[in-house]
Amino acid sequence: MFHKEGHKIILFTFIFVAIGVILSQFYIDILWLKKLVQFALLIILVLILQFFRNPKRKTELNNKHIIAPVDGKVVVIEEVFEKEYFKDKRIQVSIFMSPINVHVTRYSLGGTIKYSKYHPGKYLVAWHPKSSEENERTTVVVNNPVYGEVLYRQVAGAMARRIVNYAQEGDKAVQGADSGFIKFGSRVDLFLPLDTDINVVLQQKVKGGIDVIASKK
């Protein structure tokens, strides 16, 4: 199953690869070069299909749990001052996605969307300390009955050139449901209350919609 954000790109890539394979078959006489070109084209198609895959995930709904919003590796766990919305201290948990990870963004918790804003910006590498504040990004705040307001931020990386955000103010967020997509390398930051118990460690790999990254008793 592929994400809807990739349908046009997948179709274009399939046509491009098919034409390339046919042309190479008729116009490249050197056998090894012909096979190399065809193999390279097929690899491109496989990479595009892998990037836009959208595996079904069965999320166990629990208001006391914060689940991973994306697949990737935990690269930040620290207390920070959140400047945009809360203007106070929060625990930041950041997950970095490589180009081979699933790039679907899912709601980490259920509730009402209180804030949703797009920010144009730079394209620093996604693990850069200032990428959360200076890169192209979207900021969304979900009001949950257990945690109160929790902010998550989709951050573009050096390769990412489009962030898709489905969250609209006033909508209901369903834990584990699709909330957006980031194309070609990125990260997602979560800003949690200080009394939240963090259940992951740095460099830990997590699965979006499945793994519990934080909780409250």
Residue-wise pLDDT for 9-25, tens only, equals 889 999 999 999 999 99
Name the residues annotated as catalytic: 186
How far apart, in whole angstroms, are the C-alpha atoms of residue 138 and residue 8?
23
State residue 65's pLDDT score.
97
Residue-wise pLDDT for 44-95, tens only, equals 998 888 778 878 888 999 999 999 999 999 999 999 999 999 999 999 999 9
Phi, psi of 29 (to 5 degrees): -85, -25
Residue-wise pLDDT for 144-202, tens only, equals 999 999 999 998 865 555 788 999 999 999 999 999 988 766 889 999 999 999 999 99
Phi, psi of 117 (to 5 degrees): -145, 140
State residue 127's pLDDT score.
55
List strand residue ranges (DSSP E) for the chain, in order: 65-67, 72-82, 88-97, 104-106, 111-119, 137-144, 148-156, 163-165, 172-173, 178-182, 186-192, 197-198, 205-206, 212-215
Q: Are 181 and 174 in contact (CB under 8 A)?
A: no
